Structure 1
């Protein structure tokens, strides 16, 4: 059961992503090191697949008490799924295998459902989402410094724009509590 006050009248959200177009999915050439870095952005505990799963889970919880919040979470999950798709295409072009796993400390970590934060308090969920989006932006910026492919950099910059939109949405939701 959800706890915390979930406002019935959340702010109207019409745009769940930044307005600029996504750059084409291209790479300068094969690079397994870059593919390994991008696996952190797709299939780690802080990656896009986790965000998709988390936001879908939260949408199910919210639907019963605030359909507006449930819709917002589903729409955000769709944007995160698009990021997952784009980055997985890039991993493939780099010569990597876009599996649901990432290397951390020289160990392969396979994605699993325990990576999702299963909180049931509305305020805590939104605070967690803000923190997760902030971490995503910081991680993308760190990876931008490591990846010198201009096509991948352009894509990552565009994804950062979306993550900043998500931060804004979550901050608005938090103000309604």
Structure 2
């Protein structure tokens, strides 16, 4: 089993929304642009200006358009928190990781209505502001830089932890892998 404490933690927030009269998907408020050449075999043939780091900031009101890249290097233990919180949070998002599998360490869910099963609000485990003071506005704003409200959040990894290559990020929630 890898070390309990990861070398690095990355947060990604997935959103889908309608803009410019067509549907878009984004990661951390960066609209995905399909690269001209496959990333795994012809990475260097693509225009390097088309790439953006997952933790880079976007200065556009509409969101940046780029191919989001997460370059973790080798021999690194990574914790990845994939969320679907903020303004456009109403869709469960299936994830499949080609050629890899991950330990599912935690799943956080939003609050759902007992009357109709609809999402009422996103999980309050995450925040989108530096000071964590967005409890009342989390569901009304984009979330380009999510993180846990509590800095001492831990996720135990043991022999019972499920390992998968496909999982669902719940609407208004998150998955820690």
TM normalised by structure 1 equals: 0.24
Ranked by relative contact order (alpha carbons within 8 Å, sequence separation 6 or more), the top structure is 1
TM normalised by structure 2 equals: 0.24
Larger helix fraction of residues: 1
